[in-house]
């Protein structure tokens, strides 16, 4: 049974200047109850401070997100999901980054806009949601006009996402699993399929129609990513079928082959290797047979560490 901690309660606390969510955090589906205000770290590895590992132009998102100018990606430290195969473990575990204020976060958004970023790309910001909302509002007041992209694992609460309505223009969630056993084994979250379905439904409610500017940059809409895991083509097909049959032309589907095995899964008979060309080809063929026309796929060798940026606090601290 879900605890009585709805969006109205979060907004009321927030508007009253209180931080009860920090004293018993229920922002994400884990609902771990960490006292982040007292320095306790939640399942997301974050306390009450906003920790950011990188803020810079990023060229490796989907073409309609990065374009030729780059996406203004802000990589937040910590993650509420914690997949065993995570390629960004350096930041998902909360080890890298600098603690900044809401005011500084708003400044970062404006600095990226001045660098001609196509958008502000919030990468795994869910565990800092109230502060991020404050920063977005402050930045808008100070002249932020480019689209805001919410880049997420898909493991989000519906009522938390409602805090972003009117502030986020493009949702870019993962949809990792439909199989509860797989979700439990790889992400410690057997409820992931149920949670992700509801989260995606809310994202599409907020942004029900994709829109692009004259350069082909998405200005509104939803792109759902699925990372093909080695040995799991069948599960990937199930995910693609669900997305296509449920949402059709209301979303874009991004099928990714960039899975890179890390040392933490080196001994796993499946996760210890890369996706084969045959596996990825089977998935793309299936998507085409289903009639998926609005989507993206990856060409060439993408499973390289070079696609993971250095989390060296570039652009985070004021110069």
Q: What is the CA radius of gyration of the chain?
A: 19
pTM of the model as a whole: 0.93
> In what helix (H) or strand (E) does residue 205 lie, and over which residues does it extend?
helix 192-206
Q: Provide the 3-class DSSP secondary structure of residue 180.
A: helix
Whether residue 63 lies inside any domain: the answer is yes
Give 124-144 as a DSSP string. S-GGGHHHHHHHHHHHHHTT-
Domain span at 138: 44-307
Q: What are phi and psi of 298, to 5 degrees?
A: -105, 135
Has residue 33 been placed in a domain?
no
Is residue 22 one of the residues assigned to a domain? no
Does residue 235 lie within any of the structural domains?
A: yes
32 within some domain: no
Place of tokens 């899964």: 265
Q: For residues 195 and 164, give the distance between their C-alpha atoms in angstroms, rounded to a whole number.
A: 17
Q: Does an H or E element contain 244, and which?
A: helix 233-247
Burial class (CB within 10 angstroms; exposed 0-12, middle 13-18, buried 19+) of 60:
middle
Residue 220's CATH number: 3.20.20.70
Nearest to 208 by CA among 223, 222, 226, 224: 222
Query: Would residue 38 count as lying in a domain?
Result: no
pLDDT at 216: 97
Greatest extent of the chain over all pairs of C-alpha atoms, in Å: 56
Query: Is 1 inside any structural domain?
Result: no
pLDDT 10s per residue in the chain (319 long)?
Answer: 233 334 445 545 545 444 667 889 999 999 999 999 999 999 999 999 999 999 999 999 999 999 999 999 999 999 999 999 998 888 999 889 999 999 999 999 999 999 999 999 999 999 999 999 999 999 999 999 999 999 999 999 999 999 999 999 999 999 999 999 999 999 999 999 999 999 999 999 999 999 999 999 999 999 999 999 999 999 999 999 999 999 999 999 999 999 999 998 999 999 999 999 999 999 999 999 999 999 999 986 655 544 678 899 999 999 7
What domain count does the chain have? 1
pLDDT (0 to 100) of residue 69: 97
Pull the structure tokens for residue 101. 């204020």
Buried b or exposed e, range 115-132, using 16+ CB within 10 angstroms: eebbbbbbbbbbbbbbbb
Residue 19 in domain: no
* Residue (of 152, 63, 142) closest to 108 by Cα position: 142
């Amino acid at each position: 049974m879900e605890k009585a901690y709805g969006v109205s309660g979060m907004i009321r606390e927030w508007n009253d200047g209180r931080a009860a969510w920090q004293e018993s955090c229920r922002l994400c589906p884990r609902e771990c109850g960490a006292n982040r205000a007292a320095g306790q770290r939640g399942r997301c590895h974050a306390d009450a401070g906003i920790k950011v590992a990188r803020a810079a132009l990023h060229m490796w998102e989907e073409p309609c997100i990065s374009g030729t100018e780059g996406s203004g990606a802000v990589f937040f430290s910590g993650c509420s999901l914690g997949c065993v195969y995570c390629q960004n473990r350096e930041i998902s575990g909360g080890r890298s980054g600098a603690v900044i204020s809401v005011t500084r976060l708003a400044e970062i958004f404006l600095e990226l806009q001045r660098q001609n970023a196509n958008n502000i790309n919030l990468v795994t910001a869910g565990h800092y949601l109230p502060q991020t909302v404050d920063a977005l509002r402050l930045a808008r007041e100070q002249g932020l006009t480019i689209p805001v992209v919410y880049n997420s694992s898909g493991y989000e609460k519906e009522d938390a996402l409602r805090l972003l309505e009117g502030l986020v223009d493009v949702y870019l969630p993962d949809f990792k699993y439909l199989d509860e056993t797989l979700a439990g084994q790889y992400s410690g979250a057997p409820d992931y399929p149920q949670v992700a379905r509801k989260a995606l439904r809310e994202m599409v409610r907020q942004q029900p129609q994709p829109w692009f500017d004259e350069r082909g940059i998405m200005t509104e809409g939803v792109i759902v990513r699925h990372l093909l895991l080695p040995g799991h083509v069948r599960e990937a097909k199930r995910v693609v079928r669900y997305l296509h049959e449920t949402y059709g032309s209301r979303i874009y589907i991004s099928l990714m082959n960039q899975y890179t095995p890390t040392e933490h899964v080196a001994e796993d008979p499946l996760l210890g290797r890369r996706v084969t060309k045959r596996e990825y080809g089977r998935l793309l063929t299936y998507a085409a047979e289903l009639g998926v026309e609005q989507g993206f796929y990856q060409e060439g060798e993408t499973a390289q560490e070079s696609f993971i940026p250095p989390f060296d606090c570039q652009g985070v601290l004021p110069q």
